[in-house]
Structures are given as C-alpha cells and as structure tokens.
Amino acid sequence: MKRVLTLLLALAVTVAVAPSASAAYPAPGRVTGDIGVHDPSAVKRSDGSYLIAHTGNGIALKTSTDRTAFRNAGAAFPGGTPWANAYTANSRNLWAPDISHRNGQYWMYYSASTFGSNRSAIFLATSPSGNSGTWTNRGLVIESRTSDDFNAIDPDLVVDDQGRWWLSFGSFWSGIKMIALNPSTGLRSDSTIRAIAGRNGGAIEAPNIVKRGNYYYLFVSFDRCCQGAASTYRVMVGRSTSVAGPYVDRNGTALNSGGGTEVLAGQGSIHGPGHQDVLADSDGDVLIYHYYADNGASLLGVNLLAIDSGGWPYVH
C-alpha cells in the first residue's frame, strides 16, 4: 500500500500544471546509516560510489556504494584550515561545500563565516581522490565584508555550454550573485559581480544551477534554515536560456524580483527541506538536500527529480 500511495503521489505531481504550496510532496527516499548532514553536496565517483560533502568540522564527508546506506568518511581538512581563521570563530567549522569532479580531479568550493554575519569568504580546494586529508587549499575565491550588500557563502559551480565556469553564491542581504571563473585555476577571472536572484533583502540562499534541455535551472532555498523542527526552508526554482539569467518562475516573475516556483516544502514530520543539490545519476536526476526531523536533527533527504511537460522540475 505504501508503494501504491507513493506512485499515486508521483503521478499527481507529474500531471499537475502548477502544484500549490499546500500540495503533498513525496517523502524523502530511504537512506540508512550515518545520515546526519547539513548543506549537502554530492558527486558520483568513477567506481559508481557516492561522495557527499557537508557543513561540519573541516568539511564533513560521507560515502555510499548504493545511494542508500551511508557511512562517515572523515573530514576534508582533518588538520583544520588556518587560512580561514579570519572569517570564522572556529576554523574547523566550515559551511556549505560544493563538490564536483572535473578535469581528472575533485573540486570543492566552501564557505567560512559566522552565523548572521556577512564577513564571509569562499575558498577552493582540490583533491585527486576526494578522500579525507587529500585536499589542497587553492586559495580565496571571493570574500564579503560588513560594508558589502552581499554574503559570500553557499557557493555552487556550473559550467555552461561554451565551457565557461561560473560560481553562484549568496545568502540574504541583496540575494544571489554570480562571478566568472578561470577554468584553469578555478579562481575569479574578472571583477564583475552579477545579480541573479533576490527577495528585496528577504530570506533566499543556497543557489544550485543545472542545464537540462534548453534551460538553465536555478534552484534556491527560501525562508528560514537552522531552527530545527521550526525551520521553514523550502526549495524554489526559476529558469533561463542564459546561465547568467534573467531567471523567471512558472508565472514569468523574475527571480531578481522575488519570483520562484516551489519544488519542495515541509510537510508532516519533514521540516524545512532545503540547501539542495541536483545530482545526475544513472536512473535520472536526484535532488539531494537536508531536512529536520521532529526532534530537530538535520538529516539527508534524497528524491528523484524530473521535468514535467511544461519544462518545470518536480520531485517524485
């Protein structure tokens, strides 16, 4: 019966033209083992296994051979990150990594900050294997100061159809920004900061951009994170034919003007799902995220993700 209900829910989302905020979403897929995560990012390795990096001391790592059973794999930086000391009260407590595999190595952008402050920085590290202790600091990518109108956290790398590298990032303040990167170094290639989404100072963060078909899809998290079962995080999306935007939602409202189409929100004992990452896998796209249980624990969420006939993502 549970399987039947799940299939019916997936079908309902598939045929819906515009799911409302109150529509029922499927529950997170089954995961086991060490599934305590926050701000996860995932990559599939050449041997078919999975590596997740997430917020934690020295950037925490998890691995899985089947995308179901996960185990602790240590930290990217078990010896700490003294180069980040100027931005965080605890140099081992680093946030919101973005991990990918390109050009024969693993790339990881990650944040250093303190809660509620925009005195923040994004750094880059690379590794030949992705394993704990193998990561090399490649330097500061971008920083923000208290006088800036943006916050340099929550990085996300995207490579466009022309092979150009871009980093989106941002949290609260004036919203989500984007900078161009040098593909050879992974560091900035110019001084321009582009605005791609905002809520007039409201709660928006955690960008993730993927190209599917004719569109680049910008996923973001609206509302409040990090309050346990009281969290109101939800996953929103907009799309554009250009990686730098303008992005619009299903109704045509620009994401730079507060727009966004809801993809996933809390329901029942699933609270504040967000800080999403789209992983391309052999069975389709997978939405990786965290959510809060009734007891306030932050847990790994996994759902399949597809595009409906109108060109909009939905979870199933």
Residue 70 is part of a domain; what is its CATH number? 2.115.10.20
> In sequence order, which residues have a C-beta less than 8 Å from that of residue 162 and are 6 or more positions away?
none
**Among positive and negative, which fits the CA dihedral 96, 193, 287, 16?**
positive
pLDDT at 93: 75
Query: Mind listing the pLDDT tens digit for each residue in 170-212?
Result: 999 999 999 999 999 999 999 999 999 999 889 999 999 999 9
Does 20 fall in a domain? Answer: no
With beta carbons less than 8 A apart as the criterion, state whether 33 and 69 touch.
yes
The catalytic position among 98, 205, 223, 277 is 205
Supply φ then ψ for residue 51, to 5 degrees. Answer: -125, 125
Query: Mind listing the pLDDT tens digit for each residue in 98-113?
Result: 999 999 999 999 999 9
Does 152 fall in a domain? Answer: yes
With beta carbons less than 8 A apart as the criterion, state whether 174 and 180 touch.
no
> In sequence order, which residues have a C-beta less than 8 Å from that of residue 217 and are 6 or more positions away?
209, 210, 211, 237, 238, 239, 278, 313
Does 185 fall in a domain? Answer: yes
Single pTM value for the model: 0.92
205 among known catalytic residues:
yes
Does 191 fall in a domain? Answer: yes
Check pLDDT > 60 for residue 19: no
What residue numbers does the annotated binding site cover?
39, 116, 151-154, 171-173
With beta carbons less than 8 A apart as the criterion, state whether 205 and 170 touch.
yes
Average pLDDT in the chain: 92
Does 14 fall in a domain? Answer: no
Query: Mind listing the pLDDT tens digit for each residue in 44-85?
Result: 999 999 999 999 999 999 999 999 999 999 999 999 999 999
Does 4 fall in a domain? Answer: no
Does 293 fall in a domain? Answer: yes
Q: What is the total count of domains within the chain?
A: 1
What residue numbers does the annotated binding site for substrate cover?
39, 116, 151-154, 171-173
Does 237 fall in a domain? Answer: yes
With beta carbons less than 8 A apart as the criterion, state whether 129 and 114 touch.
no
Check pLDDT > 70 for residue 35: yes
d(CA 181, CA 164): 8
pLDDT at 239: 98
Residue type, position 24, single letter: A
Edge-first strand order for the sheet with 215-222 is 204-212, 215-222, 234-240, 261-264
Domain extent, residue 58, equals 28-315
d(CA 314, CA 1): 23
N-to-C CA span, the chain:
17
